Amino acid sequence: MTGKVPTRLVILSFAVSLLILVFDVSVPLGVAGGVPYVALVILGIWFPERRYVFILAFIGTALAIVGYFVSPEGGVQWVVLANRGLAVFAIWTTAFLISYLKRKESALRASENMLAEAQHIAAISCPAPINSTQLHQIVKNLTRNAFDAIDEESGEVTVGLEEVELAQDLAAVDAKIKPGRYARIKVTRKGCGMAEEVISSIFRPFFTTKEVGQETGLGLSMVQGIVLDHRGGILVSSEPGTGTVFDVYLPLSGDDD
């Protein structure tokens, strides 16, 4: 997601840089220690893109080095160098933490926007006899699972809804989808995939590939329960490094008798 940088942020960043540098070169070497430049990086929280955080970190590092050579003499040399080294470490640690938080925030915002749009489209378009709460659970859990899976990688998630007619049985997860007319909800995740042993376990209650405490492992199990209750089925196809596709088939009215 891109955005225009507000002029006031640019002016504020310049002013903070100038004030910290003036303070740094006005006191004996080693007193300021370069750590105040971390304040410059913190301004990256309000910038629209993560790359600006690293630009501020580069500027802070450069100014910390300039301050080292320009500041008045004073202090024990090894203490001075240690302070500057710690300052650079603090600058980049802060930058990476802010960048990570902004990435999580951006992914969450995109997930919520996409989820809201997908739920709205599904609610007004899905011809299958399913109530809005259950449809909400299906779309929410599939899209959230997709976004969680690309949390640490680049990727793309798309959601589709269409009416299809099957001429023959399809072997779905724990069920066979009989011939007939269906509403198909397709959630496609590009950029990563799952191994065969993971696919065979993803609908088990409490199964998760995340660290303990990050998720309950009940989302996909809930989706499967709702779909099977409506005599539908789920197809999962995946290839590590390529992507994963979830196809949810819900029988249309009068076709599941």
Residue whose pair of structure tokens reads 């802070």 in the numeric block = 60
pLDDT digits (tens, 9 = 90+) for 112-138: 666 666 666 555 556 667 777 788 788
CA atoms of 157 and 146, how far apart (whole Å): 7
- With 0.75 as the threshold, say if the pTM is over it: no
Q: Residues 89, 182: one domain?
A: no
Residue whose pair of structure tokens reads 């779909």 in the numeric block = 227
Whether 108 is covered by a domain: the verdict is no
Residue 57 has pLDDT above 60, yes or no: yes
CA atoms of 248 and 235, how far apart (whole Å): 7
Whether 228 is covered by a domain: the verdict is yes
Residue 32 has pLDDT above 60, yes or no: no
Q: Is 148 helix (H, G, I), strand (E, B) or coil?
A: helix
Whether 114 is covered by a domain: the verdict is no
Domain with 176 in it: 127-251
Whether 115 is covered by a domain: the verdict is no
What are the tokens at 76? 């024990």
Whether 120 is covered by a domain: the verdict is no
Q: Residues 164, 225: one domain?
A: yes
Q: Residues 96, 152: one domain?
A: no
pLDDT digits (tens, 9 = 90+) for 34-43: 667 888 888 8
Q: Residues 77, 156: one domain?
A: no
Q: Residues 237, 158: one domain?
A: yes
Q: Residues 72, 160: one domain?
A: no
CATH number of the domain residue 228 falls in: 3.30.565.10
What's residue 217's pLDDT? 56
Q: How many domains does the chain have?
A: 2
Checking 40-43 for CB contacts under 8 A at 24+ apart, the result is 40/13, 40/16, 41/91, 41/94, 41/95, 41/98, 42/94, 42/98, 43/9, 43/12, 43/13, 43/16
What's residue 238's pLDDT? 84
* Residue among 140, 160, 149 nearest 242 (CA): 149
Residue 185 has pLDDT above 80, yes or no: yes
Whether 131 is covered by a domain: the verdict is yes
Q: Residues 92, 161: one domain?
A: no
Whether 42 is covered by a domain: the verdict is yes
What's residue 124's pLDDT? 53
Whether 112 is covered by a domain: the verdict is no
Find out whether 257 and 202 touch, Cβ atoms under 8 Å. Answer: no
